Amino acid sequence: MLRVELVPVIGDFPPDGRENWSADEFQKSVVKEREGKRPLLTGDVSLAMRDCHAAVGELRFTDNSSWVRGRKFRIGVCVMPAGSIDGARVREAITEAFVVRDRHGLLRKQYPPVLRDKVWRLENIRKKGMSRRKLAANDIHTVQDFVRSWSSLPSCARSCSAISELNCRS
């Protein structure tokens, strides 16, 4: 078993499109998060490789690529901890370069939801959808209102869809 790590790499690496690079060149191309921000690449960044295969789960960039030169990222894979096995160097792998766009301003669901969030931030409830309008008609505007209404239902009603039960109450 081999431990590998996924890291964000500057999009214009390697210089001149070379196939070979040194470990130092690769480490210098790894992009660090901006000051005061979360790690740039989150999710399943540390993997166990067996029989030359590793399953990658969820990866997420926490910042867009507009602030790096070339405006693109790559994902690099390197052997951990030192980049070598039995004295032989294992060269890092990289993906093709790609742009990471900012989702700022999009109507996003938030997980886990916060009690003060609007009810449309919950999964399967659209901001301008019928479910949200029906909930609003029952004076349910926030996640906290939703939780209070759901918990006040009898236990047999809670086993059904909470939204359809609330529709029956009106």
Model pLDDT, residue 155: 61
On the question of pLDDT at 162 being above 60, the answer is no
Total number of domains constituting the chain: 2
C-alpha distances out from residue 28 to 66, 131, 132, 140, 163, Å: 19, 51, 49, 52, 52
On the question of pLDDT at 159 being above 60, the answer is no
C-alpha distances out from residue 129 to 34, 52, 116, 126, 136, Å: 37, 47, 20, 5, 11
Distance CA(132)–CA(71), nearest Å, equals 39
Which of 78, 94, 110 terminates a domain? The answer is 94
- Residues 81, 7 share a domain: yes
Mean pLDDT of 8-37: 89
Model pLDDT, residue 145: 92
- Residues 132, 54 share a domain: no
Which of 79, 94, 109 terminates a domain? The answer is 94
The reply to whether 139 falls in a domain is yes
- Residues 85, 152 share a domain: no
The reply to whether 56 falls in a domain is yes
The reply to whether 113 falls in a domain is no
Q: Across the strands, what pairs with 9?
A: 30, 74
Model pLDDT, residue 106: 55
The reply to whether 103 falls in a domain is no
- Residues 86, 9 share a domain: yes
- Residues 76, 19 share a domain: yes
Distance CA(10)–CA(32), nearest Å, equals 10
In sequence order, the 6+-apart residues with CB closer than 8 A to the CB of 88 are: none
- Residues 87, 15 share a domain: yes
Q: What is the pTM of this model?
A: 0.59
Give the residue among 21, 19, 38 at the shortest CA–CA distance from 29: 21
- Residues 89, 128 share a domain: no
pLDDT digits (tens, 9 = 90+) for 126-153: 888 898 999 999 899 999 999 988 888 7
- Residues 161, 83 share a domain: no
Model pLDDT, residue 170: 38
Length of the chain: 170
Model pLDDT, residue 33: 86
Expressed as residue numbers, the domain containing 144 is 119-169
Distance CA(83)–CA(92), nearest Å, equals 8
Distance CA(16)–CA(95), nearest Å, equals 16
Q: Across the strands, what pairs with 93?
A: 77
pLDDT digits (tens, 9 = 90+) for 63-111: 888 888 889 999 999 988 766 567 778 889 999 999 988 766 555 666 7
Higher pLDDT, 156 or 56: 56
- Residues 77, 159 share a domain: no
Give the residue among 122, 128, 170 at the shortest CA–CA distance from 146: 122
**Average pLDDT for the chain:** 83
pLDDT digits (tens, 9 = 90+) for 24-46: 999 999 999 888 888 999 999 99
The reply to whether 79 falls in a domain is yes
- Residues 85, 9 share a domain: yes
Model pLDDT, residue 156: 56
DSSP string, 60-112: EESS-STTSGGG-EEEEEEESSSSEETTEE---EE---B-----TTS----SS
Mean pLDDT of 154-168: 53
